[in-house]
């Protein structure tokens, strides 16, 4: 049964000055922020590379952009030199003030530090609009593993999932959509954790570093788990749904573990294709919720966003459920890009998304603790 509520909202995204705290004071004490001045902020409210004494090395004259691939018709090329620079900036700094990532109170990222913060990305309204309006990239399978995973996801799993959930492409019922979201997100949180844990064990077993992959994979799993928890604030799961989640987890964990141990690239390609279908699903849900006359518009239009979603994505107090769906969609586009990128990389290459993690961390810390 869906938990219904009433109310309407306007703009969903908060302005930086209106952001609500996500971190506790104990966190603030561990990562103190120096007093903000005019020279620590960019023009027009944009984030400056130096946020509270936390320096993010970046090419001069270039504004930070999300590290994502946008065209999968051709194999995404990864600049290993850039990736290595980003990873080394976090894990192998030599102490240079100009090129290091600093924390106050003498905490400092150097060659002895192997920690990358894991926080979710706060999507701007422009970023969400771009992901809603632009055609979504589709990866063209080339290798035998790509083709196998493509047909497994797009033919077997996707069509079978639509049949089981009773999902109607043209005008789905709210009940079928709720069931679909719960099952989808309960499964989507598995691959990142499986891959991250196996890479963790590999690092321990071989006595070697991981080059930053573990952090991105675990953050992905955590993000997908938060998707599920947000959905559970809107919908109730019956005994059949809970049973399906439990059985599905047993099957998917076994399959993905075996796959990653034999062919890691195949698992990342599997997730990339799975996220392509998730993006398609959320795009349809947003469109149908905003289209008068549909079942979803009648049931979901005007529903307020749950407090958990408002805190997680820093939404306005009057944000609606459809705005949450837009943020879910944006998250899935990033997971799609990351896994297609990882599928084209060797396992010992440096993670090219490390700088993205540092930017997200600096952004959230600045928005949370900047004095008003």
Alpha-helical (H) ranges within 166-303 are 174-206, 213-232, 239-262, 264-289, 295-300
Neighbours of 160 (CB within 10 A): 10
Across 79-83, 323-327, 345-349, least confident range: 79-83
pLDDT confidence of residue 151: 95
pLDDT confidence of residue 254: 96
Residue 74 Cα to chain centre, angstroms: 23
Band (226; pLDDT cuts 50, 70, 90): very high
Question: Cβ(199)–Cβ(213) under 8 Å?
Answer: yes
Percent of the chain whose pLDDT exceeds 70 = 67
Closest CA to 127 of 285, 282, 330: 330
DSSP 224-235: HHHHHHHHHTTB
Closest CA to 132 of 274, 291, 284: 284
What is the sign, positive or negative, of the torsion defined by CA atoms of 154, 120, 210, 63? positive
Across 121-130, 283-292, 339-348, 357-366, least confident range: 357-366
pLDDT confidence of residue 266: 97
Average pLDDT over residues 128-155: 92
Question: Cβ(259)–Cβ(267) under 8 Å?
Answer: yes
Percent of the chain whose pLDDT exceeds 90 = 52
How does pLDDT run across 165-211, given as a tens digit for each residue? 788 878 999 999 999 999 999 999 999 999 999 999 999 999 998 88
Q: Over 90: is that where the pLDDT of 231 sits?
A: yes
Q: Over 70: is that where the pLDDT of 220 sits?
A: yes
Q: Which long-range contacts (CB under 8 A, 24 or more apart) does 248-254 make?
A: 248/183, 248/186, 248/187, 249/186, 249/187, 249/190, 252/187, 252/190, 252/191, 253/190, 253/194
- Mean pLDDT (the chain) is 75
Q: Which residue has the higher pLDDT, 59 or 290?
A: 290
pLDDT confidence of residue 114: 58
Question: Cβ(128)–Cβ(327) under 8 Å?
Answer: yes
Query: Tokens 């959320």 — which residue?
Result: 282
DSSP 3-state percent helix, strand, coil across the chain (nearest 5):
55, 5, 40
pLDDT confidence of residue 356: 84
Question: Cβ(340)–Cβ(143) under 8 Å?
Answer: no
Average pLDDT over residues 242-255: 94
Average pLDDT over residues 343-355: 91
Rounded CA separation 86/132 (Å):
29
Question: Cβ(311)–Cβ(233) under 8 Å?
Answer: no
Average pLDDT over residues 212-221: 94
Rounded CA separation 155/172 (Å):
20
Domain ranges of the chain: 125-354
How does pLDDT run across 47-95, given as a tens digit for each residue? 333 323 333 333 434 434 443 433 443 334 444 444 444 444 434 433 3
What is the sign, positive or negative, of the torsion defined by CA atoms of 242, 247, 253, 259? negative
- The pTM score is 0.71
Q: Which 8-state DSSP code applies to residue 156?
A: I
Average pLDDT over residues 146-170: 88
Average pLDDT over residues 16-24: 41
CATH architecture of 125-354: Up-down Bundle (1.20)
pLDDT confidence of residue 363: 80
Question: Cβ(272)–Cβ(339) under 8 Å?
Answer: yes
| Residues 6+ away with beta carbon under 8 Å from 45 | 15, 16, 17
């Amino acid at each position: 049964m869906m938990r219904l509520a009433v109310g309407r909202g306007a703009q969903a995204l908060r302005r930086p000055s209106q952001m609500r705290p996500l971190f506790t004071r104990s966190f603030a004490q561990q990562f103190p922020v120096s007093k903000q001045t005019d020279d620590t902020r960019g023009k027009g409210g944009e984030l400056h590379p130096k946020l509270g004494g936390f320096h993010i090395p970046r090419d001069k004259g270039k504004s930070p952009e999300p590290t994502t691939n946008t065209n999968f018709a051709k194999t995404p090329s990864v600049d290993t030199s850039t990736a290595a620079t980003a990873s080394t900036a976090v894990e192998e700094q030599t102490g240079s003030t100009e090129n290091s990532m600093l924390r106050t109170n003498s905490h400092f990222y150097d060659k002895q530090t192997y920690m990358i913060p894991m926080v979710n990305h706060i999507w701007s309204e422009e970023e969400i609009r771009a992901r809603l309006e632009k055609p979504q990239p589709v990866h063209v399978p080339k290798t035998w593993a790509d083709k196998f995973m493509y047909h497994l996801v797009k033919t077997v799993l996707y069509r079978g999932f639509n049949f089981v959930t009773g999902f109607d492409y043209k005008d789905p019922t709210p009940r079928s959509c709720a069931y679909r979201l719960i099952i989808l997100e309960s499964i989507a949180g598995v691959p990142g954790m499986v891959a991250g844990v196996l890479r963790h064990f590999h690092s321990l077993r071989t006595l070697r570093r991981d080059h930053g992959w573990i952090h991105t994979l675990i953050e992905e799993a955590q993000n997908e788990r938060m998707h599920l928890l947000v959905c559970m604030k809107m919908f109730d799961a019956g005994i059949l749904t809970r049973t399906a989640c439990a059985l599905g987890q047993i099957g998917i964990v076994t399959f993905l573990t075996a796959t990653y141990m034999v062919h890691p690239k195949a698992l990342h390609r599997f997730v990339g294709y799975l996220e392509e279908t998730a993006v398609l699903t959320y795009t349809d849900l947003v469109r149908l919720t905003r289209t008068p006359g549909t079942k979803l518009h009648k049931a979901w239009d005007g529903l307020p966003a749950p407090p958990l979603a408002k805190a997680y994505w820093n939404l306005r107090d009057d944000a609606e459920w459809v705005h949450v769906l837009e943020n879910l969609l944006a998250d899935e586009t990033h997971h799609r890009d990351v896994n297609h990128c990882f599928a084209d990389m060797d396992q010992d290459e440096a993670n090219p998304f490390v700088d993205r993690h540092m930017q997200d961390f600096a952004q959230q810390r600045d928005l949370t603790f900047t004095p008003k």
